[in-house]
Structure formats: structure tokens, C-alpha cells
Structure 1
């Protein structure tokens, strides 16, 4: 299940990386501008991820119970709910571009570039919501290949359109940073049309109509009960990222540009972890439901060991190739050196970060979304931000980078302890529920 997801995630993550690469060819100001947008765009994407988690949990259970009609209602409701919520958030974001990015310490020089990019990106976010949640419906039904194909195709289309709209060709004018947003918009429109046709016509997994208000209200409650805590946990990441971007901004546009490239590379470096975070939860859910707790412990342990080994190999690769990667994304020597410094330090903590991500997804699979939300709060606002800011204060930008590594190591240790306690409590709850006292007082 994971291998197709990895291939799809490669293309999915290529959106931001390809945008960043082509925008970097425009100059440091444009690269810094798109770097400022990361926390905001990821906030919207996090809402989609949370809704997808809620959708997958509900649809999977209904499909397993053979309640096909009910599953169609909930799947239709999840798509409508995501479009409404993301659309509302996008409207708020569009009319608050200046205020939000001013809070992030974006300079007046960068604001025109940020406005050009975000004004179109907010529109594309509505179309982004449909494939993201629609793919969750497919995965809940056991299909991971089709979502990967959709992500790969849409990612490839985005890659092809980026240079066309950014630099222009023939009758198409050069649009600069706005062209990157337009390429993303058109790619997601194709993805949205594709997933709707697939779900409604070909697979018949959703109803070929909109739900009534009463039907939407009924289906939304269950989806939001799981989806909102999951979305909240994901949304905390860009909030913390916004704080960190504001701190990095004090070092100048070159530092922000390097920070943005580093974060894009982190997305690519974490593809295997993210793919596992989508395929490990169904395995855990099924085995918890069957009371096979030994398999849960073994799967969790083996997965963490694999991720630690894999991400260390990624760190070695990025450390060795940091100079070439930096040269590909930066023309100015100062930006290039800061990117290389990032790649030589921060990826050392990616393995521990993977432990945290997989623990969170495992807790959601055990229907403990509030536990996952609590871990996210601790990770970001007890460890990540305070330790990184302290490192910045004491040792400058290098100290900030090392602070992220230390925070990930500390949080990974906490995560493992929390998961083991949650599993032990679940075992205890199951034993209690299965204990029956008969009329004579003997325990069966």
C-alpha cells in the first residue's frame, strides 16, 4: 500500500519544489516572497488533511459494514464540506493578505510579489480540496494506486505549466511569480474534475447530486468529530512555521529565501514518512479492532526503526549534496551558503520527526485524535519554537537550526512513551468491556 503512495507523494510534493525552483530564477526577492507564503498555504492544506482523515475513518467503517448507500452520503458530504470550509478560509485569507504577511515581518518590497501569488493561490485552494478529500475516499475503499496516479498526473501538469506562465512563450505573456500560482490553479482544476468524474460516474462512491442542508448537517458531524482535531493538529505546524519565519526574517531576505528552500527540501525528504502515515493507520485500525495488540506493537516498532534508518540515509545524502542543491536554487553566494548550512544540520532530526508524525497518525487510527492534537501542541510550542528561538538568541542562525534537531529528538522520546501508554490503556479498556460477571459472581 505504501509504494504507490510514495510515487504519488513525490509528484504531490513536487508542486512546491518546482514552483520554488522556477521562482528562484526570477531573483532573491521573489524567492523570499514565496517562502513567506509557506505557513499560510500549509494552513489551508492542513484543513484538507484533517478533513481527509475524518473522511477516511468514516468511509472505511461504512464500507466494511457494507452500508454502501450511507457511505455515498458521507462521501458526498465530505466533498461538499471541504469545499465550503476551504472556500470560506480562502475568502478570509484573500481579504487579509496585507495584514497576515505584515505580521510575518514581510517587508513592503516583497508585498507586491506575495499579493500576486496568493490572490490566485487562494482560488486554487478550493479546487485543491476536492482531490485531497476525494483521494481519502478512494484510500478508505482500499485503493492507493488511483490517488497516486491522480497526484502524479496533476503534479506533472503543474511542472509543465510553471515555466510557460512564469517566463512566457509565444502568445503567453511572462507573469513572473503570478504565473506559478496560475499553473497550480489550472492543474488542480484538472484534478478536481477528474476525481469528481471518478467518484460519481465511474466508481459510484458518491451521489450524483448535492446533499440537502439536512443531509449535509447529518454527515458533517461525524466527519468533523475526527477531522477537526486532526486538522487542528496539522494547522499548528504552519502557525509555528509562521513564528519561525518571523524569527528568520530578522536575519534578512537571504535567510528567509534559504529557510524557504530548506522547508521545500524537507517536504521531499519526508515523502516516505508521509506515505507511511497514510498506510500505517489502516493496518493499526484493523488490528486494534481485532484485538491483535501484539501486531500493533510490532508494526509500530518496525516502522519506527525503518524510518530512523531511512531518514539518516537521507541526511547523509543531503549533507553530501548540499552544495549542489544550494547552487541549483540560489544565484547569490550568501543565499547559497545559508541553504547549504540548513541542509548540513536540520535533516539530522528528520528521523526523529518521522517518529512524531507516525505516532500522531497511529493515535488517530486508534480513534484518539485529541491525544494526537496534544502531542502536536507539545511538539511545536513546548519544544520546537522555544528551543529554536533560544538557539537563535544564543548562537544566531546556526543555533536556530540546531534547535530544531534537539526539539525533534526530545519530542520523539515523548511520542513513543505516549503511544505505549495509549495502547496499554486501550488493552485495559478492551479487557474491562469483555469482563462479565455472572449471577454467581464468577468472572467469565
Structure 2
């Protein structure tokens, strides 16, 4: 069964799961190498771990732009294929490549000229500033690997090939994990480079993953190909990409802004609180990767069948998507509740961090199911060409309510009660996202 017929004819439940599992695995591996980075950096010092937590907000902003553009491109390509317009899909894919290259050049320039300035804004301590600068000057300058990797993976996903997308990401992630200890601690004749080594290992892995994904598209993508010959640039393609992509970029960037602001709030409590939040955020991202994989699998399914006017299959996807995500999130809650100390010990947690972090992980984990529903509603709406619901839901859960509630709770009752801010933000975001996505679905049927 070819990719086009699979999206049109295969029963929704096995289609969603067979497409989601490779994406889940690839995203889990991707998240794992972020965690491995932190585990190895933590063995250098808690200061190095704090620096890694601080620069993650900038790194996440860069990823936000790449992922947002790719999500918009993915949704557009799926609709074009569903409308049986492969030539228009190829033109849009070529436009998407130019957008990715242009964006990566902007971030490279930021890395070359502004790494010092960004480091001074992230931390007041001179040692922290130097460590932040070391990481950013490499991670930003050579960012084109992650942009091209993200782009090429979404071309594969748009035609339903999540297995090759998974393989390309695993290639880069495994290489990163292998290189991390070698470059950080100086093994096998390599000089010990500390935080700088972690950054170099990361960009090498990203470049390797990009090369693999581009080759898979060149030889194994049956529908979408980049064609420079007779290519005609159209602003409408850019508008269609960013109709979904821009809200997604903003949504992803909100996470970067949130981590930056929360880190500033927690610095007034202690450096240990900042280090803990960095650990929590990566652990939480690891848990949410299966949720994101499920949502990313839904985009081409929803987009194709929406373009093909097969609205019954769109509704079936909705009915399967949310319960599946809620079950995965509930499993994560159980793990965080039962094993918080063991999770923190992976990062060589001090007694102070364990005292602060164990109750914090238990409190925050209660909100995971609401978080999963918000995320999946956003992906579903993006598949229908509406990125606003995704953006607003993320803004509510990560910024609009979370940050002020966290600040107020800490000021009134201390850090131990600050984590309850997650409950308020996630509940309101979940209600909004579910209501708006369900309303959008009913509008389609009308």
C-alpha cells in the first residue's frame, strides 16, 4: 500500500499508531541525548549544569523557529497531496528549503556577533557567563544542521514515512551520545573540552542526522522532491506555510521565554533551584516526546483527509488521539510520583536538590494529563490549517498564567508552594484547547 493510499484508506487506529511509534521513538532518542548532555555536564560541576540550563532557553528558541516552519510546511504538503497536486507540493517543499537556509544563516550571524551579549544577559556570575558563551558560540554558529534535519524529516512525514524520519534522527542522536563523554572528558586521545565539547558533539550529531534525512528524501521519497529547474517562487506558499508555522513558532518560542523568565525568578531562590528546573524541563520533555510523536503523526493524517474531503476520517482521528495521549501522560505521572529521587540522582543531585526536587516533581506531575490534551489539540488543529489554537494553548500553559502564578506563590508561600502554579496553568489551557478544537471540528462538518 503506497503512502497516499495508506493515508486515505488504512483504518485510522492502526494508521495513527504505526505512524506515531517511529516518531515517538525518534523523539525519545532526541530528548535522551539532551538528557545525556546534562548528565555528563553535571559530572563537571553544578555550575556547569546551571549554565546548560540557562542556555537551553536560547537553544529552544532556535529549535522553535525550525520546528514551527517545518510544521507549517508539513501541514501544507499533506493538504496538497490530499488534493492530488504533487507539483504544487514539490514547489512548496523547495520554498521551504530556502526558508530553512535563510533562517539558519540569521542564527549563525547571531552566534558569531552576539554570543557574548547573550551570555551576559543570561547570568551575572562571570564563570556562568563564560560557560554559556562557550556553548552558544558553537551551537548557534553551526545551527544549519538542526534546521536541515528538521526540514528533511518533515518531508518524509508528509508522505507517511515516519520510519526513515526516525532513522535519520536516531543516527544523529546516537552519534551525539557516543561523542559526549569523549569530547567532554577527553577520552580516546581527544582533548577534554568540558561544556564546549558537549556543544561540538551536539552539532556533529545534528549535521549527521541532516545528511541522512536529505539522502533518504533523495532516494526514497516517492512524491516530494526539491526541484530547482523551472522553480517559481510564490509568496502564497510562504503565507500558507506560516499560517500554521508562525503560530507554532510563537508557541514554541513561548517555551524559551518561559524558561528564561522562570530561571530569573528561581535565581532569587538559589542556583540549585535553577539547576533543578533545567533537569525537570528535560525530564518533562522526555515524557512529552511520545505525546509530540502522536501529535506529529496526526498532522499528515488530518491534513491529507481534510484536503481529500474525507471528514469522517478526520473525526475518527480526533476520537482516538486524545484518549491515547491521556493514557501515555498518566503513565508518566505514575513514574514521576513513584521515582522522583531516582530520576534526580541521574544528574548527580545534591542533598539540597533532592530536598527541593522530590516534592516538586510529584506536584507538577499531577498536571501531565491536562498538558497532553492541550498539546494534542494543538497538533490536531494545525493539521486542519489552524495554528492559533496551538499557540494560545501553549501561551496559557507556559507563560500567561504559569509565570505570574509561580512568582506570586513563591513570594507569598515560598518555593515549596510555587509549583502549584502548574496546576492552574494546565487546567485552564486544557479547557481552552479542547473547547476550541472541538468547535473547529464541528465547523468542518457543517
What TM-score, normalized by structure 2, do the two folds share?
0.89
1:72–1:115 Cα change, 3 Å = same
CA distance in 2, matches of 1:70, 1:301: 31
Tell me which residue corresponds to 1:25.
Answer: 43
Q: Does 1:206 align with 2:225?
A: yes
Report how far residue 342 of structure 1 moved. 2.9
* Deviation sequence 1:158-177 (CA, Å, 0-9, x none): 10000000001243100001
Find 1:145's aligned residue among 163, 184, 190: 163
Tell me which residue corresponds to 1:120.
Answer: 138
Q: Within 5 Å, give how 1:18-417 maps onto structure 2.
A: 18-201=36-219, 203=221, 205-207=224-226, 215=233, 219-289=237-307, 296-417=314-435
Give the conservation status (yes or no) of the 8 Å contact 2:79–2:307. no
* Deviation sequence 1:65-85 (CA, Å, 0-9, x none): 444343333222212211211
Give the conservation status (yes or no) of the 8 Å contact 1:200–1:208. no
Report how far residue 155 of structure 1 moved. 0.8
CA distance in 2, matches of 1:173, 1:105: 27
What SS is found at the alignment partner of 2:362?
helix
Unpaired segments ≥5 residues, structure 1: 429-444
1:209–1:299 Cα change, 3 Å = closer
Report how far residue 346 of structure 1 moved. 1.4
Deviates most, 309-318 or 91-100 = 91-100
1:298–1:215 Cα change, 3 Å = closer
Report how far residue 298 of structure 1 moved. 4.9
* Deviation sequence 1:96-127 (CA, Å, 0-9, x none): 33433444445323011111111111133211
Aligned residues: 427
Deviates most, 277-286 or 243-252 = 277-286
1:73–1:289 Cα change, 3 Å = closer
Give the conservation status (yes or no) of the 8 Å contact 1:54–1:225. yes
Give the conservation status (yes or no) of the 8 Å contact 1:7–1:148. yes
1:422–1:201 Cα change, 3 Å = closer
1:105–1:127 Cα change, 3 Å = same
Report how far residue 250 of structure 1 moved. 1.3
Give the conservation status (yes or no) of the 8 Å contact 1:352–1:412. yes
* Deviation sequence 1:350-402 (CA, Å, 0-9, x none): 11111111111111112112333333333334322222222222222222212
Report how far residue 292 of structure 1 moved. 5.7
Deviates most, 189-198 or 117-126 = 189-198
Unpaired segments ≥5 residues, structure 2: 1-18
What SS is found at the alignment partner of 1:215?
coil
Report how far residue 256 of structure 1 moved. 0.9
CA distance in 2, matches of 1:346, 1:101: 29
What TM-score, normalized by structure 1, do the two folds share?
0.89
1:127–1:300 Cα change, 3 Å = same
Give the conservation status (yes or no) of the 8 Å contact 1:36–1:245. yes
Report how far residue 58 of structure 1 moved. 2.1
Give the conservation status (yes or no) of the 8 Å contact 2:389–2:437. no
* Deviation sequence 1:44-73 (CA, Å, 0-9, x none): 101111111111122223333444343333
